[in-house]
Amino acid sequence: MQKVIQISLGGHALMFQLEEDAYSALQSYLERARTRLNRDPDRDEVLRDLEQSIGEKLVNLLHSGNRVINRREVDAVLEQVGTVDAGNAEAAAANARPERPRRLCRIQEGQWVAGVCQGLAAYSSISVEWVRTIFLAVSIPTGGLPILAYIVLMFVLPVARNHDEYVAMQSRAT
Amino acid sequence: MDFDKFNTLRKGLLEFLILGIVSSGRVYAADMMQRLSKTDFATQEGTLYPLLSKMRRDQLLDYEWQESETGPPRKYYKLTSSGRKQLTEFREYWESLTGLIDELGKPSCKK
């Protein structure tokens, strides 16, 4: 036994009758499309276009009568419509993002100990004085936890001789 | 043939092919797919619709609604003046590219 669900699609006057699993296939297709188009400023319009086009294919399938549509038929229609490719919209959004995540380095020029604070400052665009102040301020109540972190970072981080070399390393990394 | 290698190329070219198709007059999305269906650029609604809306945002295309006998009104696309300009530029660029590609293989290019 199958429940039949009646739906309207993208402005089609005809109410389509879908078996329950056909309905859920269509619904999950549209939900996936919505997610993929998340960054598209015209998301709702594209979704409406897709619905309309799916409706058109279903109308063709039904010829003139209006019978219940099954899962297999819906799957075939969705196969024709194809997965939503938001490639362009996503690429545009990626280009619009101001900066890619950068790599943390030690910077030797102007270092007090090993340049970790210099590196953190360059990484976060906070001035090195602030980084050192915060570093010391946190060290006192925590019994020197940042000092331990400093030592670890000293061994882990790649080294740049000065700020220019750091910038050059970033452009190579991306 | 190793068509996978050309996938990115095809993807980038699709937009210009659509400009070409739309330049022939007022075109409905299904006509575009029909026109491309027999080519390497066969495309589906899932790809075409987001692209068309992006091209409209870029002001290369515009559409108008037209009543349809079989269903809801359809969008008929046409080129805007900047779309037409871009198509001309693309054709010129493409010509210079194919010229260059032909040229590069010729022995006369060797030093």
Q: What is the pLDDT of residues A50-102, one digit of tens each?
A: 999 999 999 988 886 778 999 999 999 999 999 998 765 455 555 554 445 57
Q: What is the pLDDT of residue A64?
A: 66
Is the same domain home to A13 and A83? yes
A28 CA to centre of own chain: 19
* For residue B59, pLDDT beyond 60: yes
From the list B45, B51, B57, the residue facing A50 with the nearest CB is B45
Is the same domain home to A61 and A111? no
Q: What is the pLDDT of residue B108?
A: 65
Collect all residues of chain A within an 8 Å Cβ-Cβ radius of residue B8. Answer: none
Beta-bridge partner residues of A5: A18
* For residue B50, pLDDT beyond 60: yes
Is the same domain home to A60 and A132? no
Q: What is the CA radius of gyration of chain B?
A: 17
Is the same domain home to A73 and A134? no
pLDDT tens, position by position, A15-59: 999 999 999 999 999 999 999 998 889 999 999 999 999 999 999
From the list B44, B50, B70, the residue facing A81 with the nearest CB is B44
In a domain, A101, yes or no: no
Is the same domain home to A78 and A134? no
Is the same domain home to A13 and A72? yes
Euclidean distance between CA atoms B48 and B46, whole angstroms:
6
CA distance readout (Å), A68 to A3, A51, A108: 10, 18, 73
Collect all residues of chain B within an 8 Å Cβ-Cβ radius of residue A84. Answer: 46-47, 49-50
In a domain, A27, yes or no: yes
pLDDT band for B84, please (50, 70, 90 cuts): very high
B51 touches chain A (CB under 8 A): yes
- Name, of A52-66, A124-138, B39-53, the range with top average pLDDT: B39-53
pLDDT band for A111, please (50, 70, 90 cuts): confident
Between chains, do A52 and B71 touch, taking CB under 8 Å as contact? yes
What ipTM goes with this model?
Answer: 0.83
Nearest to B26 by CA among B64, B56, B55: B64
* For residue B54, pLDDT beyond 90: yes
Which of residues A68, A95, A122 is at a domain's end? A95
Euclidean distance between CA atoms B107 and A26, whole angstroms:
58
In a domain, A70, yes or no: yes
Is the same domain home to A10 and A85? yes
Which of residues A62, A95, A128 is at a domain's end? A95
Between chains, do B46 and A87 touch, taking CB under 8 Å as contact? no
Phi and psi angles of residue A7, each rounded to the nearest 5 degrees, phi first: -135, 160
In chain B, which residue's Cα lies nearest the Cα of A51? B45
In a domain, A11, yes or no: yes
In a domain, A166, yes or no: yes
Is the same domain home to A80 and A32? yes
* For residue A168, pLDDT beyond 80: no
In chain A, which residue's Cα lies nearest the Cα of B8? A87
Q: What is the pLDDT of residue B1?
A: 52
Which of residues A74, A95, A116 is at a domain's end? A95
In a domain, A161, yes or no: yes
Residue with the larger pLDDT of the pair B3 and A62: A62
Collect all residues of chain B within an 8 Å Cβ-Cβ radius of residue A33. Answer: 46
Residue with the larger pLDDT of the pair B84 and A91: B84
* For residue B76, pLDDT beyond 90: yes
Is the same domain home to A55 and A130? no
Between chains, do A42 and B71 touch, taking CB under 8 Å as contact? no
pLDDT band for B106, please (50, 70, 90 cuts): confident
In a domain, A100, yes or no: no
Q: What is the pLDDT of residue A98?
A: 46
* For residue B104, pLDDT beyond 50: yes
Is the same domain home to A30 and A63? yes
In a domain, A34, yes or no: yes
Asked if residue A97 lies in contact with residue A86, where contact means CB atoms within 8 angstroms, the answer is: no
Nearest to B13 by CA among A40, B26, B21: B21
Mode of pairing for the β-strands spanning A16-19 and A4-7: antiparallel
Domains identified in chain A, total number: 2
Neighbours of A104 (CB within 10 A): 16
Domain that holds residue A146: 106-172
B45 touches chain A (CB under 8 A): yes
Euclidean distance between CA atoms A163 and A119, whole angstroms:
9
Is the same domain home to A23 and A75? yes
Between chains, do B53 and A45 touch, taking CB under 8 Å as contact? yes
Q: What is the pLDDT of residue A104?
A: 86
Q: What is the pLDDT of residue A88?
A: 52
Collect all residues of chain A within an 8 Å Cβ-Cβ radius of residue B73. Answer: 11
From the list A12, A40, A82, the residue facing B47 with the nearest CB is A82
Is the same domain home to A71 and A138? no
